[in-house]
Amino acid sequence: MCGRYVIISTPEAIRALFGYNEQPNFPPRYNVAPTQPIPVVRLVEGKRSFALMRWGLLPSWVKEPKTFPLLINARGESALDKPAFRNAMRRRRCLIPTDGFYEWQAGTRRRPYFVRRKRGVDGSAPPFAFAGLWETWIGPNGEEVDTAAIITTVANRALASIHERMPVFVSREAFDLWLDCAKVDANTAAALIRPADESLLEAYEISPAVNSVANDSAALIAPLAAAADGVAPPTPNRPQMTAKSKKTKAPDDQATLL
């Protein structure tokens, strides 16, 4: 599953990759957690559009959000059939920009790992995209809340020793195939739900400091040895996101996976 992730590329780099017209400014986020606002890309009147949505999908038919499970992930194997996701799979697919995610290896002591795109020869890597679903929940007083979930699948061999599940990634060439719900039916789009190629990602152990959502700095993605020495990559200066975030507990305390 994916219960925490990172988005640290500049707004300009993300806009260039996803091709939306909006020009949002948002800060680097090293510990994005459920219920917080996350950047989402969807089609609006045939054009790619940027939006902020709450991470944790609420189907439109939910009566009382406080008693409904927090759906941060959707199992790709059952997204076409589960009542919570099937309408979104048909009509409201989205992309969620990312630079990597965290996963915890089970054991006597749960060990956190950072999973990211493999670096190029210059040490850099472009952002990429989770496959996502979104819904607008309308409350009894007419209030509207846009919400989203990340689709997961079985882990590839490179990550299976850390966790049995992983997010689904959509390549740049397949963005339109995933986003265009009017022209591409859900069964066709579902062909993109598969483990990432093993050559795409790399993973390394990091500090347990990531367990607390109060921690949100470049130190979180430093390899464990470097983190112990107090070494971390520099944090770029970026404008602050205007949407307010909400504190949450550790991912296992609140994530529901269907």
Which residue reads 């959000």 in tokens?
Answer: 65
Catalytic option among 22, 64, 77, 103: 103
Convert 143-174 to b/e letters by CB count within 10 Å (16 or more is b).
eeebbbbbbbbebbebbeebbebbbbbbeeeb
Residues contacting 232, CB < 8 A, separation 6+ = 217, 218, 219, 221, 222, 226
> Kind of pairing, strands 256-257 and 71-75?
parallel
Tokens for 155, please give them: 């882990």
Length of the chain in residues, anyone? 258
Q: Which residue has the tokens 């993109």?
A: 192
Q: Which residue out of 2, 94, 135, 181 is catalytically annotated?
A: 2
181 is catalytic: no
Contact (Cβ atoms closer than 8 angstroms) between residue 86 and residue 80 = yes
b/e for 111-123, b at 16 or more Cβ within 10 A? Answer: ebbbbbbeeeeee
2 assigned to active site: yes
Non-local (6+) Cβ contacts of 138 within 8 A are 60, 144
Catalytic residue IDs: 2, 103
